[in-house]
Amino acid sequence: MTMERRQNYPYWFLLPAFAVFALLYLTPTLTGLYYSFTDWNINKKTIDFVGLENFRSLFSDRKMVAALWHTLIYAFAVTVIRNSVGLGMALVLNVKMRFRNLFRTVFFLPYMISPLIIGYLFTAIYHPANGLLNMGLKGAGLGVFAVDWLNDPRFALFSAIMVDVWRTSGFAMVIYLAGLQMIPGELYESASLDGARFTQTFRHIMFPLIAPSLTINLVLSLIGTMKVFVMILVLTNGGPGYTTEVINTYIMTEFSLGLYGLGTAANLVLTALIVLLGFPVLILLRKREVAL
Amino acid sequence: MKRSNFYRIPLFLVCVAVSLIVLVPFAMILVNSFKDARQSALFKLSLPDEFLWSNYKLVLSKPAVIRSFLNTIYIAVFSVLLTDLCAAMAAFVIQRRPTRLGKAAYYTFLMGLVIPISIIPTIRLMMNTGLHNTYRGMILYYTAINLPFAIFLLTGFIGSVPKELDESAMLDGCKPLRLFFRIILPLLSTVMVTSTIVVAIAVWDDFVGPFYLISDYRKWTIVLNIYTFVSQYETNWGVVFAFLMLVMTPILLLYFALQRYIISGLTAGALKG
């Protein structure tokens, strides 16, 4: 059998994929690890090792510290709201109704569109004077809530968060819905024979059984949102002031200033953040899946 | 489940409301793309007094726009072909040989789903290897960043292709390459549709790649072109909306035509891992 395997499934089949991946993903990732500890910048011919100097500057830069917090707030808020909305809509669509597939198609749609386009779309919607949001609020007699969503430091980050929720909740919904539809119908039947209310059925049958959907949604969401860049760039460009600055917009600024070592170090901080948050969440949720 | 009948109408209305929240912004772009500068800046949902095609004509009259459409198609087609082929070959061996090496390769690729690519060292590397500012550089870049997802998706799927097929083919004296291209690859066609659409859309929608890796405007992709275009025409939202419509329409058509492959493929992939 081992003989047959070797002949049928040669390892060199891995080579084309590995070659491209090694060249353009692994190499920059690994050299980036080194550059993070150097003074690489546009004004110097040589690249010299400087130890932790970049990290010292990063953590003493108020803008970077703000970017770090905003990235965490953004990731946490988008993850919580996206998953609440996504799960809610999945429960609604789990009920047999007319046009169910059409609704699913519509809810998922924004996920297909470039975040850049969606950013411009919402620049118009959030427009303080003419945007649909404020026109709607004024029309409903809620004019006091019609603020300048993207230019008011109190609301800018929240406004960006809601655009991402709008864009990606359909994706979360589709994964929850697939999880719900894998639950055997008999379980619902026996629950309703026992006189279980919806909340009880949800707590004791649905929620435990969609554990894999919950895991994948939370992990993908945390990882993806911490990498946010385009949405912020287009909606606020980090402003007003630096109230919506995130790590990837910070990296862009450092890059344009020619501070390459520092920018690369900021990316390493982002990587550390993703790994330190992503893996414990993954392990925790996986353990929970097994326990259930 | 009789009780749910009682809830059905309110739930249906919730779905209609959410659909509106999703669709109204798109409707806003559509109607305003036919209005003049003054009207479109009001962002109203009303239909235009008369449908102006001039915004679309203006966008399409720019050679740079046409060129960037072609650039995007060119880069997307080759990125998809290279990603699909490399990923299918790798996923086949990874799934069929769960050895230490196979698993190590799998987890190395999966790292790419988690750890963000470091863009500044990527620029340097591509400059040093003559890939910066080239089409082939972009194709290799997109292949590298989309391979992890494609390998993940395909490895999950190949598990459902019976091994007996390989064995009987082998008994007939089939060599690995022939086995792969003649027998395995055709069986992967549905999942390949999923990975093809997902990768094609990822390339079409991407901003970061061309933003950092292409300095020659003649090689820009369409999304980067929107970015610079908007800074020029920001005062004329009608033109901007027409441009956004032109870039979105191919994606929307693709989505509505093939959405079952996209949604079921993505969910199956996500829940298998």
- List the beta bridge partners of residue A104: none
- The answer to whether position A79 is within a domain reads yes
Using one digit for the tens of pLDDT, what is the confidence trace for A217-259? 999 999 999 999 999 999 999 989 999 999 999 999 999 999 9
| CATH number of the domain to which A141 belongs | 1.10.3720.10
- The answer to whether position A221 is within a domain reads yes
Residues from chain A that touch B45, judged by Cβ atoms under 8 A, are: 132
Q: Which helix (H) or strand (E) holds B73?
A: helix B63-96
Does B223 contact chain A (CB < 8 Å)?
A: yes
Total domains in the fold of chain A: 1
Ramachandran angles phi, psi of A49, nearest 5°: -70, 130
Determine which of B1, B14, B15 to mutate to test the interface with A (most A C-beta atoms within 10 Å): B15
Residue type, A177: L
Beta carbons of B252 and A112 less than 8 Å apart: yes
| Mean pLDDT for the stretch of residues A105-121 | 95
More confident residue, B115 or A185: B115
The residues near A20 (Cβ < 8 Å, ≥ 6 apart) are B82, B86, B140, B143, B144, B147
Question: What pLDDT shows up at residue B4?
Answer: 53
Overall pTM surpassing 0.95 (yes/no): no
- List the beta bridge partners of residue A38: A49
Beta carbons of A113 and B248 less than 8 Å apart: yes
- The answer to whether position A26 is within a domain reads no
Beta carbons of B271 and A179 less than 8 Å apart: yes
Does B17 contact chain A (CB < 8 Å)?
A: no
Using one digit for the tens of pLDDT, what is the confidence trace for A38-76? 999 999 999 999 999 999 999 999 999 999 999 999 999
- List the beta bridge partners of residue B139: none
Indicate if the pLDDT at residue A210 is higher than 80. Answer: yes
Instruction: Name residue, tokens 């290897």.
Output: B129
Domains of chain B: 55-272 (1.10.3720.10)
Considering only CB atoms, B208 lies closest to which of A89, A220, A229, namely: A229
B131 touches A40 (CB < 8 A): no
- Classify residue A44 as left (phi > 0), alpha (psi -120 to 50) or beta: beta
The residues near A219 (Cβ < 8 Å, ≥ 6 apart) are A278, A281, A282, A285
- The answer to whether position A3 is within a domain reads no
- The answer to whether position A10 is within a domain reads no
SS3 B131: coil
B194 touches B261 (CB < 8 A): yes
Question: What pLDDT shows up at residue B5?
Answer: 65
| ipTM entry | 0.92
- The answer to whether position A2 is within a domain reads no
Question: What pLDDT shows up at residue A189?
Answer: 82
Give the integer Cα–Cα distance in Å for B224 and B209. 9
Does B115 contact chain A (CB < 8 Å)?
A: yes
Residue of A nearest to B30 (CA): A121
Give the integer Cα–Cα distance in Å for A83 and A219. 11
Using one digit for the tens of pLDDT, what is the confidence trace for A141-169? 898 888 999 999 999 999 999 999 999 99
Give the integer Cα–Cα distance in Å for B248 and A256. 30
Shortest CA gap B19–chain A (Å): 6
**Would you tell me how many other CB atoms lie within 10 Å of the CB of residue B230?**
19
Does A211 contact chain B (CB < 8 Å)?
A: no
Question: Which range marks the domain in which residue A153 is found?
Answer: 61-291
The residues near A10 (Cβ < 8 Å, ≥ 6 apart) are B93, B176
- The answer to whether position A56 is within a domain reads no
Considering only CB atoms, B176 lies closest to which of A7, A170, A198, namely: A7
The residues near B31 (Cβ < 8 Å, ≥ 6 apart) are B44, B45, B46, B47, B48
Cα angle: A275, vertex A277, A279; to 5 degrees: 60
Indicate if the pLDDT at residue A28 is higher than 60. Answer: yes
Q: Contacts for B97-103 with beta carbons within 8 Å, 24 or more apart?
A: B97/A5, B97/A9, B97/A11, B101/A11
Radius of gyration (Cα) for chain A, nearest Å?
A: 24
B207 touches B223 (CB < 8 A): yes
Give the integer Cα–Cα distance in Å for B224 and A103. 32
Give the integer Cα–Cα distance in Å for B35 and B168. 65
Does A108 contact chain B (CB < 8 Å)?
A: yes
Beta carbons of B170 and A7 less than 8 Å apart: yes
Residue-wise DSSP of B74-100? HHHHHHHHHHHHHHHHHHHHHHH--SH
Residue of B nearest to A176 (CA): B267
Question: What pLDDT shows up at residue B1?
Answer: 45
Instruction: Name residue, tokens 């993070």.
Output: A36
Give the integer Cα–Cα distance in Å for B190 and B186. 9
Considering only CB atoms, A25 lies closest to which of B101, B144, B180, namely: B144
- The answer to whether position A8 is within a domain reads no
User: Which residues of chain B are under the pLDDT cut of 70?
Assistant: 1-5, 272-273
Residues 15-34 (A) with a CB less than 8 A from some CB of B: 16-18, 20-21, 23-29, 31-32
Beta carbons of A106 and B42 less than 8 Å apart: no
B150 touches B199 (CB < 8 A): yes
Q: What is the 3-state secondary structure (H, E, C) of chain A?
A: CHHHHHHHCCHHHHHHHHHHHHHHHHHHHHHHHHHCCECCCCCCCCCCECCCHHHHHHHHCHHHHHHHHHHHHHHHHHHHHHHHHHHHHHHHHCCCCCCHHHHHHHHHHHHHCCHHHHHHHHHHHCCCCCCHHHHHHHHCCCHHHCCCCCCCCCCHHHHHHHHHHHHHHHHHHHHHHHHHHCCCHHHHHHHHHCCCCHHHHHHHHHHHHCHHHHHHHHHHHHHHHHCCCHHHHHHCCCCCCCCCCCHHHHHHHHHHCCCHHHHHHHHHHHHHHHHHHHHHHHHHHHHHHHHC
